[in-house]
Structure 1
Amino acid sequence: MKQVASVSPVQLYDFSQKILFSPKERGEGFIKLTVTTGKKGARSTPHAHPRDEVTLTLKGQAVLRAGGQEFHMTEGTALRLPPGVVHEVEVLSDEWVVVAAYCDECMLCRGPDGGLTG
């Protein structure tokens, strides 16, 4: 069990991210679970994940762009992105807080050689 307040943030793009559970750090096959915060205008670069990503916006508003579409992420909105979908996020409100779970490091995403599988 972890308390979000006790986790030190790391920088991810323009965002501050608290990694609650990480397969890389724990040596386990679980997904990564994070709480990410961004201020107005914060952006990610276009990126994708080898498996699904699910998010739940806790506070604020952001827009996720993927496949020529825009998805407005507001408080209480959940979103699922399929594997391999290139996407980027931009914060529209003063602050945006999102919980995200995805599989970049977990053993389920890795082949026998340790590389990521698609």
Structure 2
Amino acid sequence: MSRQRPELKQVASVTPMQLYDFSQKVLFSPTERGEGFLKLAVTTGKKGARSRPHSHPRDEVTLTLKGQAVLRADGKEYVMTEGTALRLPPGLEHEVEVLSDEWVVVAVYCDECMLCGKLDGGSGSG
């Protein structure tokens, strides 16, 4: 068994990709690595940017670093501002809209991870 080592990445060195109306930099991804359990991403959106309603098979945890956005879920609105942490339970449909000029959030979630497939009795492709 090979020895595991810490991995260090600079956000500035990661090429952004489009996600809904947002720009997302995925720092660590189970799909890219071929192993691991969690995706770590920094997502940025400009005022008015929105996601579609969606859910995740396991928890999603976010931390707003800059700006303000509203998360809509279960008929309620949750305002996320700088320093606000949010946990979404598995399967909860939600959508996000940016309220400030720019919103920057760090998100950790399990969409493509081996853990999702194993817990769901699937193949592990998450």
- TM-score of Structure 1 vs Structure 2, range by shorter chain: over 0.9
Query: Separation in 1 of the partners of 2:122 and 2:95?
Result: 30
Counterpart residue identity of residue 32, structure 2 = E
Structure exhibiting the larger radius of gyration computed from Cα positions: 2
SS of 1:76's equivalent? coil
Helix, strand or coil at the partner of 1:25:
helix
Paired with 2:97 and 2:41, the residues of 1 have a C-alpha distance of 17
Structure 1 distance, partners of 2:66, 2:36, is 29
Q: CA RMSD in A?
A: 1.0
Query: Which digits, 9 at most, give the CA deviation of each residue in 1:5-57, with x for residues without a partner?
Result: 00000000000000000000001122000000000000000000000000000
Equivalent residue for 1:113?
123
Flag structure 1 segments of 5+ consecutive residues without an equivalent.
none
**Matching of residue 3 in structure 1 with residue 10 in structure 2:** yes
**Which residue of 1 is the match for residue 4 of structure 2?**
none
- The normalised TM-score by structure 2 is 0.89
Q: Which runs of 5+ in 2 are unaligned?
A: 1-7
Distance between the aligned counterparts of 2:110 and 2:18, measured in 1? 19
- The two structures have a TM-score, normalised by structure 1, of 0.95
**SS in structure 2 of the partner of residue 88 of structure 1:** strand
1:82 is aligned to 2:92:
no
Partner of residue 92 from structure 1, selected from 77, 91, 99: 99
Q: Secondary structure at the match of 1:108?
A: helix
Q: How many aligned positions are there?
A: 116
Shift of 1:114: 4.0
Query: Contact conserved, 2:114 with 2:125, CA < 8 A, in 1?
Result: no
| Aligned match of 1:39 | 46
Distance 1:89 1:112 in 2: 29
Q: CA deviation at 1:91?
A: 0.1
- Secondary structure of the residue aligned to 2:23 is strand
Aligned to 1:42, what secondary structure does the other structure show? coil
Q: Which amino acid is 1:66 matched to?
A: A
Instruction: Report what 1:30 is aligned to.
Output: 37
Q: Runs of 4 or more off by more than 6 Å in structure 1?
A: none
1:85 match: secondary structure: coil
Letter in 2 for 1:77: T
